[in-house]
Amino acid sequence: MKGYLKTIMILLVFTIVITGLLGFRGIPFQTAAIVDGGNVEKELVGNLPMEDVVEDLQELPDGFEDNFHEGSYEDLVKEDLQEKDEDTVENEDVKVAYLTFDDGPSPKITPQILDILKDYDIKATFFVIGDLAEKYPDILLRIHSEGHLIANHTYSHNYKHIYSHPKKLIAELEKTDELFTSILGSQYKRSSFMRFPGGSFGEKLKPFRQAVTAAGYINIDWNVVNGDAEGNNVSPEKQLKRLQETLQNKREAVILMHDSNTKQTTVDALPDLIEYIMSQGYVFEILDESNF
């Protein structure tokens, strides 16, 4: 009997010892699961293929391991998406004004416009005529060096020539691009934007629009005017009125103006035009190919 009891006691003690050892071995892993991000990741990914595991771990947000105890990965993703949604809503409320100047550069007007833009810290887009850039390369260099966008407005601006055949138009655009590079240097990155002299409106110019697109250009017309194309000495007051009539709270306003030598009143009007546009909640940007 004593031998039987002794055997039972030995088995009981052995069982307790083994159970304790097994329980003790489990504790470090559970603690590591909270502290060690590597073990957390193993728990999260489960039995996914290794390629998927690597890809998923690379996409974990910064601070994931440090913040794991504060919430789940799904919570972090939801917070990130909410932040992006908030950014999107804010961006949707932004109104953008693109100041564009055609028919320069000119030695009398363009420098004055550049001075005003510099005072307001505004960047604009200049649709430059190649022939004039060739005559006034120093002004083209200044436009570029001050951070404005240089876009193509053909070489000659001669309606009869460029609209005689689509090939003539493309040839002038390419000639002007080559000229820009020769003046601005090989590091100059060509813009794809161009503007038809007089605009690309109308069925007759459809073959020309198609040719321009096929050649890799982005044609930009306008949806707001200051009216300085309606005469050589359009008063600043009339220019402001025309701007107000055509701006009309547009979300994206591509504003047509001119910097040819006969446009002194455009220079005179420009500060008031800028002030009005700012008062309507617009921000100023250069044309961006990703938006058109």
Across the chain, mean pLDDT equals 79
Instruction: Give the pLDDT confidence score for residue 93 in this predicted structure.
Output: 81
Active-site option among 157, 228, 258, 259: 258
- How large is the average pLDDT for residues 234-239? 98
Rounded CA gap, 175 and 170, in Å? Answer: 9
Closest listed residue to residue 258, CA positions, set 227, 218, 291, 290: 227
For residue range 164-182, what is the model confidence (pLDDT) as tens digits? 999 999 999 999 999 999 9
Peptide bond before residue 197 is cis, with ω within 30 degrees of 0: no
Average pLDDT over residues 223-235: 95
Q: What is the pLDDT of residue 232?
A: 83
Percent of the chain whose pLDDT exceeds 70 = 68
Half-sphere exposure of 144 (CA within 13 A, CB side): 19
Q: Which of 56, 37, 29, 33 is nearest to 45 (CA)?
A: 56
pLDDT bracket for residue 187 (50, 70, 90): confident
Q: How many angstroms separate the CA atoms of 40 and 57, rounded?
A: 11
| Least confident window among 10-24, 139-153, 230-244, 277-291 | 10-24
Is 102 annotated as catalytic?
Answer: yes
Annotated catalytic residue, options 102, 103, 177, 259: 102
Q: Are 172 and 217 in contact (CB under 8 A)?
A: no
Is 144 considered catalytic here?
no
Question: Given a cut of 50, is residue 107 above it in pLDDT?
Answer: yes
Residue 14 pLDDT: 54
Q: How far is CA 230 from CA 19, 171, 226, 234, in A?
A: 96, 29, 9, 7
The C-alpha R_g of the chain, in whole angstroms, comes to 34
Query: What residue ranges define each of the domains in the chain, with the CATH number in brackets?
Result: 2-91 (no CATH), 95-291 (3.20.20.370)
Q: pLDDT at residue 218 above 60?
A: yes
More confident call, 87 vs 214: 214
